[in-house]
């Protein structure tokens, strides 16, 4: 019996079901249920929410979420070897855990979820950033999710939460912070995982804002920011040349010095520039 439920400890689960970690699937498991419960608590009040979990593996975070009272958990797992272990969790929490075998990049979870929805995951590193970008760029805002509580390599977590003037500040920070609050809530050393990865990790909690922090067209903002950070060492008047022929005038109209570099420009000014670029 474990510390948080009547199911066996995760080391036993892994042994019983032969779940030796596979690098190709980004498998670095969390086996400490106190830690997975701590991560689950960072997801906020889940008692009245459906929670989408990507990559439950042997189910450490899944058990954390269910023991925190999640109304329902929908877990998408690519590795069929994990399904019997997850079925045991399903049996212990009747009608509260649905597991779908498949690739999270190809499954539309909305078919299975009822709002309000929170997302929580110890993501496979190889698909983590791609999923985050998808969650941050839905067709309409606000998105279907209230919050995202996600594990990343520490370096990626810094890129999501970075402030202007830092090396980590770039497209991901702007994308995340334009329409969400984003904070690092837990930092973890490699030794927290089995097997330990090479780098440290962090849990980032993002809360969707009801509307963007500053008005801008999403596509124009994305184009401007991609061009600006694509050549981050250049002055904006050079890196943004391809965005509009009269870019210097538009930079000035947005209150930005054309000699500035992308790294120094706060989100609010990028949004002003996107508006200036969008003007006929």
Q: How far apart are CA 81 and CA 101, in angstroms?
A: 10
- In the complex, the smallest distance separating the C-beta of residue 81 from ligand SAM, rounded to whole angstroms, is 8
Omega before residue 142 within 30° of 0, cis? yes
Q: Which of 51, 55, 239, 275: binder of ligand SAM (CB under 6 A)?
A: 55
Residue with Cβ nearer ligand SAM (61 or 228): 61
* Number of residues lying near ligand SAM (CB under 6 A): 23
Contact between 203 and ligand SAM by CB under 6 A: the answer reads no
Binding of residue 54 to ligand SAM (CB under 6 A): yes
Work out whether 143 is an interface residue with ligand SAM (CB under 6 A): no
Q: Which residues contact 250 (CB under 8 A, 6 or more apart)?
A: 244, 273, 276, 277, 279
List the beta bridge partners of residue 205: 149, 183
Decide if 190 contacts 196 (C-beta within 8 A).
Answer: yes
| Distance separating alpha carbons of residues 170 and 165, to the nearest angstrom | 10
Of the candidate residues 60, 109, 143, 170, the single one contacting ligand SAM (CB under 6 A): 60
Other residues' Cβ atoms within 10 Å of the Cβ of residue 252? 14
Contact 245, 164 (CB under 8 A): no
Which of 29/270 has CB closer to ligand SAM?
A: 29
Shortest distance in whole angstroms from residue 104 CB to ligand SAM: 4
Contact 151, 125 (CB under 8 A): no
Question: Is residue 33 involved in binding ligand SAM (CB under 6 A)?
Answer: no
What is the rounded distance in angstroms from the CA atom of residue 126 to the CA atom of residue 123?
8
Which CA distances in Å does 132 have to 75, 120, 165, 217? 16, 11, 23, 19
Residues 89-108, one symbol each (x = binds ligand SAM by CB under 6 A, - = not), give --------------xxx---
Choices 24-32, 163-171, 208-216, 231-239; region in contact with ligand SAM by CB under 6 A: 24-32
Q: Which of residues 239-278 bind ligand SAM (CB under 6 A)?
A: none
Residue nearest ligand SAM by beta-carbon distance? 55
- State in angstroms the smallest separation of the CB of 60 from ligand SAM: 4
Instruction: Select from 4, 8, 9, 25 the one that contacts ligand SAM (CB under 6 A).
Output: 25
Among 7, 13, 14, 30, binds ligand SAM (CB under 6 A): 30
Burial of 38 (0-12, 13-18, 19+ CB in 10 A): middle
CA–CA dist 218, 195 (Å, integer):
39
If the CB atoms of residues 196 and 215 are measured against ligand SAM, the closer one turns out to be 196
Contact 119, 96 (CB under 8 A): no
The interface with ligand SAM within residues 112-141 (CB under 6 A) comprises 122, 124, 127
One of 13, 43, 49, 76 touching ligand SAM (CB under 6 A): 76
* Interface with ligand SAM (CB under 6 A): 25-30, 54-57, 60-61, 76-79, 82, 103-105, 122, 124, 127
């Amino acid at each position: 019996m474990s510390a948080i439920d009547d199911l066996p400890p995760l080391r036993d689960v892994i042994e019983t079901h032969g779940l030796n970690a596979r690098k190709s699937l980004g498998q670095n498991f969390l086996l400490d249920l106190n830690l997975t419960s701590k991560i689950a608590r960072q997801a906020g009040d889940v008692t009245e929410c459906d929670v989408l979990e990507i990559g439950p593996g042997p189910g450490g975070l899944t058990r954390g979420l269910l023991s925190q009272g999640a109304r329902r958990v929908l877990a998408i797992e690519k590795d069929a070897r994990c399904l019997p272990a997850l079925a045991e969790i399903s049996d212990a929490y009747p009608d509260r855990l649905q597991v779908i075998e498949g690739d999270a990049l190809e499954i539309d979870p909305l078919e299975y979820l009822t709002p309000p929805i929170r997302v929580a995951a110890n993501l496979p590193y190889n698909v983590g950033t791609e999923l985050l970008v998808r969650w941050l760029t839905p067709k309409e805002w606000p998105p279907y999710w209230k919050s995202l509580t996600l594990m990343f390599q520490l370096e990626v977590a810094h890129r999501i939460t970075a402030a202007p003037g830092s090396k980590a500040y770039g497209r991901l920070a702007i994308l995340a912070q334009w329409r969400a609050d984003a904070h690092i809530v837990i930092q973890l050393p490699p030794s927290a995982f089995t097997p330990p990865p090479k780098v440290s990790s962090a849990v980032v909690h993002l809360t969707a804002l009801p509307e963007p922090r500053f008005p801008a067209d999403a596509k124009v903002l994305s184009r401007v920011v991609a061009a600006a950070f694509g050549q981050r060492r250049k002055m904006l008047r050079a890196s943004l040349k391809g965005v509009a022929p009269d870019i210097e005038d538009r930079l000035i109209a947005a209150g930005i010095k054309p000699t500035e570099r992308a790294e120094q420009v706060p989100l609010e000014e990028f949004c002003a520039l996107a508006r200036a670029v969008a003007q006929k």
